[in-house]
Structure 1
Amino acid sequence: MTQPTDKLTIYHYPVCGTCRSAIKWLETEGWELDRIHIKETPPSVEVLQELIPLSGLDIKKWFNTSGEVYKELQLKDKLAGMTEDEKIKLLSSHGMLIKRPIVTDGKRVTIGFKPEAYTEAWSH
């Protein structure tokens, strides 16, 4: 029987193959998913301020560096001169700037999809 704690929040982009692979992996493991469309509803500044530290990753790792928006805004050259607050505001303003999917249970966070990282974080 599924426990109430068997629910994860996933910020994803439905047409993203990586996101679809992550969802399939998580569902195969028995997770119930609260899906949030990252482009339509990007995480707020407050949510990012909670999630980024939980991920254990530098904020630079949260940027989708291969995405069109990242390139259009020429962020490769600009990020180094920005404060962490400015980076978080930028991420929250445009879901397509964020590396995806973001998966969290409120205590842990993973970004992107690597089966070995998911096995470590999300295996039952």
Structure 2
Amino acid sequence: MLYICYKKCTTCKKVEKLMQDKKLSYQTREIDKENPSKEELKKWYEESGLDIKRFFNTSGKIYREENLKDKLKEMSLDEKLERLSKDGMLVKRPILIDGDKFFIGQDVKKYIESL
């Protein structure tokens, strides 16, 4: 399992504690230090079947400051992926990749709880 998180995020901390309590084996990647690439984001988007908006941290400072709520409507998929790849803090978290399964946001906790 690959767990992509932001160490200061309370949701990420809770999910990681849950994973530790369940003694799950996983690798951690800090999203603020190792930003997902455009290629990774595109792969995750295509494989997950989720709307691209789900990949944006809509409650984050950058999302609000750049008024992305309105701008996303006019952006192409390629432009959205490019923007996400430029700053990990803009990407929704946590993210969990377990083999061919992909989870983002609150779905990560639900999946871990189901194991």
Q: Same-fold call, TM > 0.5?
A: yes
- Please tell me whether residue 31 in structure 1 is matched to residue 57 in structure 2: no
Structure 2: 5+ residue stretches without partners: none
Q: CA deviation at 1:26?
A: 1.8
More helix per residue: 2
Distance between the aligned counterparts of 2:72 and 2:20, measured in 1? 35
1:32 match: secondary structure: coil
Is the 8 Å Cα contact of residues 11 and 38 (structure 1) preserved in structure 2?
A: yes
Query: How much identity, in percent, do the aligned residues show?
Result: 39
Does structure 1 residue 51 correspond to structure 2 residue 51?
no
User: Residues 117 and 32 (structure 1 numbering): CA distance in 2 closer, same or farther, change over 3 Å?
Assistant: closer
The alignment status of 1:98 with 2:91, answered yes or no, reads yes
C-alpha change, 1:106 and 1:48, in structure 2 (3 Å) is farther
Q: TM-score scaled to structure 2, two decimals? A: 0.90
Measured on the aligned residues, the alpha-carbon RMSD in Å equals: 1.5
- TM-score, L = length of structure 1: 0.84
| 1:41-120 alignment, distance < 5 Å | 41-114=34-107, 115-120=109-114
Cα distance between partner residues in 2 of 1:86 and 1:71: 18
> Which residues of structure 1 form unaligned runs of 5+?
1-7
Displacement of 1:52: 1.6
